[in-house]
Amino acid sequence: MLDQEKTFEPLIVAFCCNWCSYAGADLAGTSRLSYPPNVKIIKVPCSCRVDPIFMLRAFGKGADGVIVCGCHPGDCHYSTGNYFTRRRFALLFSLLDFMGIEKERMRLEWVSAAESAKFARVMNEFTEEVTKLGPNRRLMDIRNLPEGYEELGRGPHREVLDAQAPHARNIPSVVKIEEQMKARATKLLADGVVDRVLAWKAGDHETMPEPAFFDHPSQIENMVYNKYCAHNLSKYLMVAPWLGGKLFDGSTLIFLKPCDSYSFNQLIKENLINLEKTHIIGIGCGGTVQVEDLEEVGMWEKCGVCTKIHHPVGDEIIELENNSPRLDKNARFATVEAIEALSADDRFAFWQSQLSKCIRCNACRNTCPVCNCKRCVFSNNKYDMASKVNATEFEEQLFHIVRAFHVAGRCSDCGECSRVCPQDIPLHLLNRKIIKDINEFYGEYQAGQDIAAPEPLTSFDLNNDGQAGKN
């Protein structure tokens, strides 16, 4: 064993920006400063060109350490590129750490063209540190069952999820709201203000309402709104014009619960909603319940910790009577904190046990309002991502990390990903961890609250980005 450790030679990939760090590496050569041959450099124009996917791919293919080097803040050849790099990797490193993946395997360093000695020193230190850690396995194993937990779903540290057990609580009646919704929908359709209505209709059982379009006042009697209407309708309006292979050119009335209205507002921000042809009615909500085998098992987790009682967007609002905040707004982070408190090994085992259940059905992606790419990177050939049946490919292993990262700063924490997951994986915790980090690192930010607010990952603060040093 000792011998093995001694002979372990880590593979280290270094992404260096052309203007500072690559030149710094060149100068290290010119100055004959030595660092281990384990370090292999890939040149990029700017550190901001390094996609987290590159880093994950390197780990997935067998790299033991990955380091990104850029110009010092303020010295970027492109003025501001490294500020985005700094935020991006601070959040990525923190997320991976949250999943129990050794953050010591990844680094972000600023190396100027003159800092050859720093370049050599950083590479020496980093190689030494990664050598101590041994071969990288965790990222490749993140979706494999941990040893001793072969029984699906009985993974370690289920207890952290108890913190998010559905809250038993009286759910206020929304019958009055349903009546008003029907009245408004009928009127707006009859007056020709809208051509169709997006709401819920009765399903096979009263606990199973379904999202539905209504295009005639006579259909409105089938509309329902009750405590089982958990679906976030935001995304239907975005994709609906394509349904049936026909373009819909008319205008739509959409009903939005408070939480949905944040997602919807984010879609407005991303220019994915034709506001001119949309009539928005915000509706009150007292929480929705989870049903198993036609039995109520309690409130959905997302409703249990919900603090969103107002609508950031809406042409009309039908409020709930006695609408008042239910919870401390930070209560939703309790589970994230419980996981953070575990050891790295335990965090890893927890996520392994959860993510190993994933069957890659794409339900999370399909329901997520901000997973709104026309072609997901996992389905197009831009990144030559593996096809989804090939469950051993590393991209598959990293799907949830990449997905969480792609919605970072855009996710309004609607919780739909976890609600629709047939395997009961608490996927929303990955997003919520990023939200918590954004709040802590860069100041409180709620996606979908204000469409004029700069997004945390596409903006920077010269004076308040020190959190990147956390890695």
Partner 1 sequence: MEKIGFFVCHCGSNIKATVDPNVVLDGVRSIPGIVVAEQYPYMCAKTGQNMIADAIKTNGLTGIVIAACSPRMHEATFRKVAEAAGLNPYMVEIANIREHVSWIHKNKEEGSQKAVALAKAAIAKVKLNAPLFPEENSVIKRALVIGGGIAGIQAALDIAEAGYEVDLVESSPSIGGKMAQLDKTFPTLDCSACILTPKMVDAASHDKINIMTYSEVEKVEGFVGNFTVTVRKKARSVCMEKCTGCGDCWNKCPVKNIPLEFDLGLQNRKAIYIPFAQALPLVPVIDREHCIMMKSGKCGLCQTVCQPGAIEFDQEDELVTQKYGAVVTATGFETINLDKFGEYAYNDSKDVITSFEFERITHGAGPTGGELKRLSDGRKPKSVTFIQCVGSRDISGRGKPYCSKICCMYTAKHAVLIKDKYPDVNVNVFYIDMRTPGKAYDEFYRRGVEEYGVKYIKGQVGKVVDKGNCLTISAVDLLDNVKMELETDMVILATAIQPVPSAKPLASMLSASIDTNNFMTEAHAKLRPVESPTAGVFLAGAGQGPKDIPETVGQAGAAAAKVIGLLSKDVLLSNPCTAMVDINACNGCSLCAPVCPYGAISYGPATVNDHGLKTIERVSHINQALCQGCGACVVVCPSGAMDLQGFSNKQLLAEVDALC
Residues that bind partner 1 (CB under 8 A): 11, 13, 22-23, 25-30, 32-35, 37, 40-46, 48-54, 57-58, 61-63, 74-75, 77-81, 84, 88, 245, 247, 269-272, 372-377, 380, 382-384, 406-407, 454-455, 457-459
Decide whether 204 or 384 has the Cβ nearer to partner 1: 384
Distance of closest approach, residue 442 Cβ to partner 1, in angstroms: 14
Decide whether 63 or 233 has the Cβ nearer to partner 1: 63
Distance of closest approach, residue 180 Cβ to partner 1, in angstroms: 34
Decide whether 295 or 384 has the Cβ nearer to partner 1: 384
Q: Which helix (H) or strand (E) holds 85?
A: helix 81-98
Distance of closest approach, residue 86 Cβ to partner 1, in angstroms: 12
Distance of closest approach, residue 221 Cβ to partner 1, in angstroms: 35
Instruction: Check: CB of residue 467 under 8 Å from CB of residue 442.
Output: yes
Distance of closest approach, residue 46 Cβ to partner 1, in angstroms: 4
What is the Cα–Cα distance from 272 to 350, expressed in whole angstroms?
A: 36
Pairing of strands 223-224, 210-214: unpaired
What is the Cα–Cα distance from 160 to 171, expressed in whole angstroms?
A: 25
Instruction: Check: CB of residue 97 under 8 Å from CB of residue 401.
Output: no
Decide whether 38 or 186 has the Cβ nearer to partner 1: 38
What is the Cα–Cα distance from 252 to 333, expressed in whole angstroms?
A: 35
Distance of closest approach, residue 283 Cβ to partner 1, in angstroms: 27
Decide whether 38 or 164 has the Cβ nearer to partner 1: 38
Distance of closest approach, residue 367 Cβ to partner 1, in angstroms: 16
Nearest to 178 by CA among 253, 231, 229: 229
Decide whether 101 or 407 has the Cβ nearer to partner 1: 407
Distance of closest approach, residue 18 Cβ to partner 1, in angstroms: 8
Decide whether 149 or 383 has the Cβ nearer to partner 1: 383
Decide whether 26 or 461 has the Cβ nearer to partner 1: 26
Q: How would DSSP label each residue in 378-420?
A: TTSTTTTPPPTT-TTSHHHHHHHHHHHHHTTTT-----HHHHH
SS3 content of the chain, % helix, strand, coil (to 5): 40, 15, 45
What is the Cα–Cα distance from 210 to 48, expressed in whole angstroms?
A: 43
Nearest to 262 by CA among 415, 401, 365, 436: 415
What is the Cα–Cα distance from 19 to 25, expressed in whole angstroms?
A: 11
